[in-house]
Structure 1
Amino acid sequence: MIEPFLGTWKLESSENFEEYLEQLGVAPTLRHLAVLDKPIISIRGSEAQLSIKIQRSFKTTEISFELGKEFEFDETTADNRKVKSIVTLDGGSLVHVQKWLGKEMTIKRQVVHGKMIAKYSMNNVVSTQTFGKV
């Protein structure tokens, strides 16, 4: 069931995001910008083909993919990491795993009471962001 995720979402609140970005190795200046930013996420498509576009004040990224298939190309993240990714639908959660240089991070998105809750995890550090539908 991908339908609950479809649409446009704007960040409403964020917890522990700077600590998470530090685990990724993001430079202090970019971490500061990212913490202050209120990104807009647009999720479009169907279970066969999805796209996720994230608009930030400093950079916009977009990925298109098939659920359950590792991306055929390297995804370039907002902080310019080149990663291999796979996105799956697991028990009502949209799970995005990125791998690079022997490292791995996960974004788990769920829709709860009309809000999209995104949990970003790396090295036992978890950041939670809440998005409202626009």
Structure 2
Amino acid sequence: MASMNDFIGRWKLVQTENFDEYMKEIGVGLITRKAAAHLKPILEIRLDGETWNFDQFSTFKNTKLSFKLGEEFVENSPDDRTYNSLFTFENGKLTHRQNKIKENHKSSVLTTWLENGKLIQTYQSGDVICRREWERE
């Protein structure tokens, strides 16, 4: 079973399913959705002491997310939504819970794990599930 340390490295996005539907579900605007749909970002996962860093690089926007496992924090999404977020790691899977703060926002659960050498992520909000696959760069 994978440990969090197995996630460390640089990953390139190779496949996405239902990303536009997911973004629509959480309220991302049309122009941003269309731009994001064509991106092939690089995800860099690092560990600095007890702090995990998930940095995503693309031609559209770069994002940085830092967290400690088991510690809730306020997260600002790339499109300026705000969440109470919590990361946990259990049975080889990293779970990222984004709990809405504002009533008009939507909560999500993002799950990350390794499968056949690929980093797999699912993003779920309501009944909509997106799947993304990453390969080591």
Residue in 1 that maps onto 2:40: 38
Q: CA RMSD in A?
A: 1.4
Q: Distance between the aligned counterparts of 1:47 and 1:25, measured in 2?
A: 35
Matching of residues 122-133 of structure 1 within 5 Å: 122-133=125-136
**Deviation at residue 80 of structure 1 after TM alignment:** 1.6
The 3 A distance-change label for structure 1 pair 117 and 47 is: farther
Matching of residues 53-64 of structure 1 within 5 Å: 53-64=55-66
**Deviation at residue 81 of structure 1 after TM alignment:** 1.0
What are structure 1's unaligned runs of at least 5 residues? Answer: none
Q: Is the 8 A contact 1:108 1:119 kept in 2?
A: yes
1:106 aligns to 2:84 (yes or no) = no
Q: Distance between the aligned counterparts of 1:46 and 1:87, measured in 2?
A: 16
Q: Distance between the aligned counterparts of 2:29 and 2:60, measured in 1?
A: 14
Pairs aligned (count): 132
**Deviation at residue 68 of structure 1 after TM alignment:** 0.8
1:92 aligns to 2:92 (yes or no) = yes
Q: TM-score, normalised by structure 2?
A: 0.90
Q: TM-score, normalised by structure 1?
A: 0.92
Matching of residues 13-32 of structure 1 within 5 Å: 13-32=15-34
In the TM superposition, structure 1's runs of 4+ consecutive aligned residues that sit over 4 Å from their partners are: none
Q: Percent identity?
A: 33
